[in-house]
Amino acid sequence: MAKKKSEQVKIISNLEIYPKEKYVIVSVNPKIYPMDVVYSASYVFLDKAYLILDGDPEEEIIVELRPKKKDQEIEILGREFNNELLNYAVYKNQARESKNIKEAIVNRALETNSECRDVSHEPKKNFETKSFEEEIEYDEDMSYVDDPLGIAVPWEEKYGKKQK
């Protein structure tokens, strides 16, 4: 990005502030903040500013921020971008450090779930299967018409008006 530097450029650490033109350039060291961190921080700023990413991802990443609101302070915009870079760098580092723990938790949850369900249709070896006839006691003297509990009696016979 070849920029013509004006007389009123204010340089603060990695920020080049152009107050007259109303934009700020943030120089990012890719050894400290990799490209995915720069993308994440840039994504957060899509509502606040117009962004241009440029430079060499191996040497230096250049981020130009132009505020969408006219009254927005451009130095603050650049400093907030630096904070977002740090935020996503820490997030990425913590995610990398806790990766094994998260994987162990998910694996344990999946193993527990698979132990609860028997996906095979074969009966388990320690469980004897019985047929329906073997499960209930079957009395050969009884037929399906017999009703020892009186359940099959029609309502009219049981509760209807009694005829004289």
Q: What is the pLDDT of residues 47-80, one digit of tens each?
A: 999 999 999 999 999 999 999 998 899 999 999 9
* Helix 99-116 and helix 74-97, axial crossing angle in degrees, nearest 10: 50
Was domain 10-100 assigned CATH 3.20.20.70?
Answer: no
Q: What is the mean pLDDT of residues 3-31?
A: 86
Asked whether residue 2 carries a pLDDT value surpassing 50, the answer given is: no
Global pTM? 0.60
Handedness of CA 43, 44, 50, 54 (dihedral sign): negative
* Adjacency order of strands within the sheet including 10-12: 10-12, 15-18, 23-28, 60-67, 49-56
Q: CA-CA distance, 142 to 160, in Å (whole number)?
A: 28
User: What's the confidence (pLDDT) of residue 160?
Assistant: 79
Q: Which residue in the block uniquely carries the two structure tokens 């990799």?
A: 34
Token pair, residue 58, equals 């191996």
Determine the Cα angle at 60 with ends 57 and 63, to 5°.
90
Q: Residue 140's pLDDT band (boundaries 50, 70, 90)?
A: low
- Looking at the chain, which runs of residues are DSSP E strands? 10-12, 15-18, 23-28, 49-56, 60-67
Q: CA-CA distance, 54 to 26, in Å (whole number)?
A: 10
Residue ranges covered by each domain of the chain? 10-100
35 vs 121, residue with greater confidence: 35
Asked whether residue 164 carries a pLDDT value surpassing 70, the answer given is: no
Token pair, residue 147, equals 């009703």
CA distance to 15, 64, 120, 139, per residue, from 21 (Å): 15, 12, 71, 99
